[in-house]
Structure 1
Amino acid sequence: MGESDGGFSVTRRQLLRMIGMTAGSAAMYQAMSGLGFAAESPYKEPLQLGGAPKGSSVLILGAGIAGMVAAYELRKAGYKVQVLEYNARAGGRNWTLRGGDSYTELGGATQNCQFDKGLYINPGPWRLPYHHHGILHYCKQLGVPLEAFVQVNYNAYLHASDAFGGKPQRFRAVRADYHGHVAELLAKTTQTSKLDALVSKEDQEKLLQSLRSWGALDKNYAYVKGELSSNRRGYDKDPGGGLSGHPIPSTPMALKDILDSKLWEGLPVGDNYEMQTTLFQPVGGMGVIGQAFARELGSLIRYNAKVIAIQQDEHGVTATYEDTTTPGTKQTVSADWCVCTLPLSILGQIPINVGQAMAEAIAAVPYAAAVKVGLQFKRRFWEEDDQIYGGISYTDQAITNISYPSTGYFSGGKGVLLGAYIWGLDAMEFTAMSPEDRIKRAVEQGSRIHPQYPKEFDNGMAVAWHRSPFTLGCFGQWSEQARAKHYDNLCQFDGRIVLAGEHASCLPAWQEGAVTSALDAIGRLHQRAAAAGAAT
């Protein structure tokens, strides 16, 4: 599929939206860049560096997850460690916005979070796959309590603006009907002996049995209205007790209607390796991980330190930084080695004397556009009215999805939804809006799925990552060609400097990529430091 002169063609855009709905935004970005996900985190066991050469020091730039993992392990090994962090907090994109927080984006727009106590939104990462062993190890190490994150909820919605009169459909109904109709078609094909050349007679019988079970088909291998199909897609009236307890079966959607609606695009959500159960989230918000690292590292982190130059020679590395609380005040800090975890979108604008190979690699990786909108409502209507407890509803509108909180069930009072997770071209459009307009648009689009939105809306927060002063984008968006040409050069040592972060991993957009890249970088740093110490 090609691109028109005006950008993505319709077919390309539809493909990306489909991938985004089914696999999540990170997979969509990977598809845009021509890359597939790495199969599994390479993390196997806690790092054992051994003792540091006496007096060795390391300067770490950035107190995001990669920087703090590096600082934690290097300090444990005996290195003298210093960390410079632009923000007044640790965590970087590991970030939770709560009531009382204030955030100013590029352009000067300031938002003051008005969420009620205990409610929050994660503008950056929001879930932890069970096989991301590295980040889960540090949660355990730092005493960060975790709880289940609900990725797939069969009672959530799939929505297409021009299908079924714009009315959202329950995930379970679309799934049951799609599977049922496909199973019936394949059963008919099997019964007419059209699979004789492909499947033995014995296996055809087994296939028919499995199709009946998988598709909830009746004794005639038909997917029809009745007990079997309703037990998958839901009833018009659920079974109950007494004389009024008889259930009323529901009527399946026609196959043509399902196919035309394209709601099937949202069905493989939980089949993706990164999204398979069980996923986790820290109790109280993703930013709890950053806070735990910050408590552990204490005074090693110098906050409000904006790095403006990085210089190295054969003896060490010096960073010049500005204290953002007193603009114009320049200071320097030096060390034997440097682990730089600054996003490439930031690093590319800072003078740094590295070789051509690393310089070209830094310049080769643009950062993805993404917008998240958190919406507080006066009551948890998605639970009280729609019986949706956790999970995600998907739509073909720009907001892409609505994620329901996986905590605080039945608590009453107010609640906060992730009212939009926008990416690609739509994210660029939303980024150009004021925060107020982003929130307004998210409420307008969300009301087509939940009509309660306008009446129940209370307040919101909208973070557009390209306007984030500490990242200038959501995450490194490698193309297949750029990764083949520049990735190894980006990760190699240049003199006394090594880079780390999700951009220096094959798990982009995941905190696990930051963890594993940091461990890889400091493992090589330790080898070099030990060799240099032995030489002297």
Structure 2
Amino acid sequence: MQNEGETGLSRRDLLSLVGTVAGSAAMYQAMTSLGFASESTYNGPIKLEGDTKGASVLVLGAGLAGMTAALELRAAGYKVQVLEFNSRPGGRNWTLRGGDSFTELGGATQTCGFEDGLYLNPGPWRIPYHHRAVLDYCKRLGVTLEPFIQLNHNALLHGSNAFDGKPQRIRDIKTDFQGHVSELLAKVTQQSKLDEAVSVEDREILLQALRSWGALDQNYAYKANLISADYRGYAKPPGGGLGAAPIAGEPVKLSDILQSRLWRYLQSFALHQFQATMFQPTGGMDMIGKAFAREVGDLIQYDAKVTRIQQNDGGVTVSYVNAKTPATPQLAQADWCVCTIPLSILSQIQIDIGPRMKAAIDAVPYASSVKIGLQFKRRFWEEDEAIYGGISYTDLPIRQISYPSSGFNRSGRGVLLGAYVFEGANAYEFTSMAPADRVARAVDLGARIHPQYRAEFENGIAVAWHRVPFTLGCAGSWTEKMRDEHYDNLCQIDGRIVLAGEHASYIPAWQEGAILSSLNAITRLHERVVRT
């Protein structure tokens, strides 16, 4: 097990290094290769035109991919039936509120103790502005959105061995790092070290730009003055009346920033997938799943655990049982099947498909994400530290603390995302713990960043996705090699079966990938039906 100040080099860490060293273009290329690129190809609602010939389709799974398929296929004239393992719609589009209970693999049951109106999104929790399919369905289905705050300059960066363990404001590290680098580049420019790259005319413009961008003084120096204070804040802010003059804060030294390695978190705010504007549904992410269910809920049979998928030239037969009373097997039949069951589950189900698709299903592992929600007696992050939304980053195993993007400045209780660990050793560490121990660990570690934790904490809930029975993992974790070998085979129509879901997309772990995969799959299926 790693020490708290150490982390393994995950794919996300690798992307951070690529971005820091080579810039955003190189990082985006790396993201594409690793399956993290998040640009959407959505061009508007699909039109499934042509004679469906009275065909029927069985959809397996009522997550966003499955309900998208059900919605569009029924609109096109198909007879649709949906089988869903859970007793609710949405799949990983899931929100936990006070009174909600769930049982994880191993038998541990948690009941959420949050106050009414507070919640945790254990799965997806934000929507980028360029995820046009999700946004379009939200508009069509009447889901109200509000801003999700990704970057808050007043949130914190924390390194266990940096600045004596004291968290630093994002604003200070960002501004000071930018200022020191600007000063260095200005010196090089003034010394004519860039003659081969920058013309004489452009050199003067570059110096003006560096002075503005880096908050440099007239001598192109970055230091404590009211110029830098306008960017990084003040040791004593401007006020009113006597003694109201502001006092500039002292910048952090470049060497201290470099040695702290806190600069590595700054790229998170530049990543295309996290750029403003980002959104969240008002009241919880499951508002999207509920909106879909209002349209297609009459097609969904809940508590249906699929045990076998068979097909022949005439159609598809699916065996299933009621997940709560599994003694009596049942059958569902249709001409075609759209299967959105996560590969981590589908690989354990007997299914009549060719060896190439079967190999693809078996090849893709799932990320071991963990999210922990913590309720506190008051919103101390706002009252004590003026942090309204955004994310603080740390090298501790909890990795991130996210502050709510709604309910600002209200009195009473609040809920933080007290840990978000996407993959790697820290995720496995938390997954191995009992739920109560995960919560206690998050409180203990979070108190190093916010000492108020110990006095203000009330209750928490911890979702370790490798122990969630309906997915056994957070999302498909592709590598470039796996995509080259298996991706196209996974997405092909095999006889009368086609797969869909975030795992069958180049936007894994995002709802946009699930919807785009579903639209692509049903479009190709419809074309085959019309041609047949």
TM-score (norm 1): 0.94
Q: Tell me the amino acid that sits aligned with residue 451 of structure 1.
A: P
Q: Tell me the amino acid that sits aligned with residue 353 of structure 1.
A: D
In the other structure, the counterpart of 1:148 is: 147
Q: What pairs up with 1:202-213 in 2 under 5 angstroms?
A: 202-213=201-212
In the other structure, the counterpart of 1:3 is: none
In the other structure, the counterpart of 1:221 is: 220
Once residues 510 and 16 of structure 1 are traced to their aligned partners in structure 2, the CA distance between those partners, rounded to angstroms, is 15
For the structure 1 residues 40 and 413, does the alpha-carbon distance in structure 2 shift closer, same or farther, using more than 3 Å as the test?
same
**Post-superposition shift, 1:299?**
1.8
Q: What pairs up with 1:79-118 in 2 under 5 angstroms?
A: 79-118=78-117
For the structure 1 residues 516 and 403, does the alpha-carbon distance in structure 2 shift closer, same or farther, using more than 3 Å as the test?
same
Q: Tell me the amino acid that sits aligned with residue 283 of structure 1.
A: T
In the other structure, the counterpart of 1:383 is: 382
What SS does the aligned partner of 1:244 have?
coil
In the other structure, the counterpart of 2:361 is: 362
Q: Tell me the amino acid that sits aligned with residue 345 of structure 1.
A: S
Asked if 1:434 corresponds to 2:434, the answer is yes
Once residues 446 and 314 of structure 2 are traced to their aligned partners in structure 1, the CA distance between those partners, rounded to angstroms, is 57
In the other structure, the counterpart of 2:516 is: 516
Once residues 16 and 507 of structure 1 are traced to their aligned partners in structure 2, the CA distance between those partners, rounded to angstroms, is 14
In the other structure, the counterpart of 2:448 is: 448
For the structure 1 residues 21 and 406, does the alpha-carbon distance in structure 2 shift closer, same or farther, using more than 3 Å as the test?
farther
In the other structure, the counterpart of 2:47 is: 48
Once residues 510 and 312 of structure 1 are traced to their aligned partners in structure 2, the CA distance between those partners, rounded to angstroms, is 30
Query: Contact conserved, 2:94 with 2:121, CA < 8 A, in 1?
Result: yes
**Post-superposition shift, 1:14?**
7.7
What SS does the aligned partner of 1:267 have?
helix
Once residues 83 and 169 of structure 2 are traced to their aligned partners in structure 1, the CA distance between those partners, rounded to angstroms, is 48
What SS does the aligned partner of 1:242 have?
coil
RMSD (CA atoms)? 1.9
What SS does the aligned partner of 2:34 have?
coil
Query: Contact conserved, 1:382 with 1:388, CA < 8 A, in 2?
Result: yes
Runs of 5+ unmatched residues, structure 2: 20-25
For the structure 1 residues 382 and 342, does the alpha-carbon distance in structure 2 shift closer, same or farther, using more than 3 Å as the test?
same
Q: What pairs up with 1:284-323 in 2 under 5 angstroms?
A: 284-323=283-322
Identify which range, 453-462 or 46-55, moves more after superposition.
46-55
In the other structure, the counterpart of 1:469 is: 469
For the structure 1 residues 419 and 344, does the alpha-carbon distance in structure 2 shift closer, same or farther, using more than 3 Å as the test?
same
Q: What pairs up with 1:1-12 in 2 under 5 angstroms?
A: none
Q: What pairs up with 1:324-403 in 2 under 5 angstroms?
A: 324-403=323-402
**Post-superposition shift, 1:286?**
0.4
What SS does the aligned partner of 1:307 have?
strand
**Post-superposition shift, 1:22?**
11
Once residues 245 and 270 of structure 1 are traced to their aligned partners in structure 2, the CA distance between those partners, rounded to angstroms, is 34
Query: Contact conserved, 1:476 with 1:503, CA < 8 A, in 2?
Result: yes
In the other structure, the counterpart of 1:424 is: 424
Asked if 1:131 corresponds to 2:130, the answer is yes
Asked if 1:277 corresponds to 2:289, the answer is no
In the other structure, the counterpart of 1:192 is: 191
Query: Contact conserved, 1:21 with 1:394, CA < 8 A, in 2?
Result: no
For the structure 1 residues 106 and 515, does the alpha-carbon distance in structure 2 shift closer, same or farther, using more than 3 Å as the test?
same
Once residues 14 and 522 of structure 2 are traced to their aligned partners in structure 1, the CA distance between those partners, rounded to angstroms, is 39
In the other structure, the counterpart of 1:13 is: 9
Once residues 487 and 214 of structure 1 are traced to their aligned partners in structure 2, the CA distance between those partners, rounded to angstroms, is 44
For the structure 1 residues 312 and 420, does the alpha-carbon distance in structure 2 shift closer, same or farther, using more than 3 Å as the test?
same
Once residues 200 and 490 of structure 2 are traced to their aligned partners in structure 1, the CA distance between those partners, rounded to angstroms, is 56
Asked if 1:498 corresponds to 2:498, the answer is yes
Once residues 530 and 315 of structure 1 are traced to their aligned partners in structure 2, the CA distance between those partners, rounded to angstroms, is 16
Q: Tell me the amino acid that sits aligned with residue 531 of structure 1.
A: R
Once residues 413 and 176 of structure 1 are traced to their aligned partners in structure 2, the CA distance between those partners, rounded to angstroms, is 34
Once residues 264 and 493 of structure 1 are traced to their aligned partners in structure 2, the CA distance between those partners, rounded to angstroms, is 46
**Post-superposition shift, 1:34?**
5.7
CA deviation profile, 1:301-329 (whole Å, cap 9, x unmatched): 00000000000000100100010121221
For the structure 1 residues 375 and 76, does the alpha-carbon distance in structure 2 shift closer, same or farther, using more than 3 Å as the test?
same
CA deviation profile, 1:80-127 (whole Å, cap 9, x unmatched): 000000000010000000001001100000000010011000000000
Query: Contact conserved, 2:131 with 2:512, CA < 8 A, in 1?
Result: yes
Runs of 5+ unmatched residues, structure 1: 1-5
Query: Contact conserved, 1:21 with 1:266, CA < 8 A, in 2?
Result: no
Once residues 14 and 299 of structure 1 are traced to their aligned partners in structure 2, the CA distance between those partners, rounded to angstroms, is 43
CA deviation profile, 1:476-516 (whole Å, cap 9, x unmatched): 01111110011000000000000000000001110000000
Once residues 459 and 305 of structure 1 are traced to their aligned partners in structure 2, the CA distance between those partners, rounded to angstroms, is 32
CA deviation profile, 1:421-468 (whole Å, cap 9, x unmatched): 012111011100000111111111111111100100010000000000
Query: Contact conserved, 1:33 with 1:478, CA < 8 A, in 2?
Result: no
Once residues 31 and 419 of structure 1 are traced to their aligned partners in structure 2, the CA distance between those partners, rounded to angstroms, is 29
CA deviation profile, 1:173-213 (whole Å, cap 9, x unmatched): 00110000000001111111111122111111111110000
**Post-superposition shift, 1:20?**
6.8
Once residues 104 and 22 of structure 1 are traced to their aligned partners in structure 2, the CA distance between those partners, rounded to angstroms, is 40
Q: Tell me the amino acid that sits aligned with residue 508 of structure 1.
A: P
**Post-superposition shift, 1:267?**
1.1
What SS does the aligned partner of 1:243 have?
coil
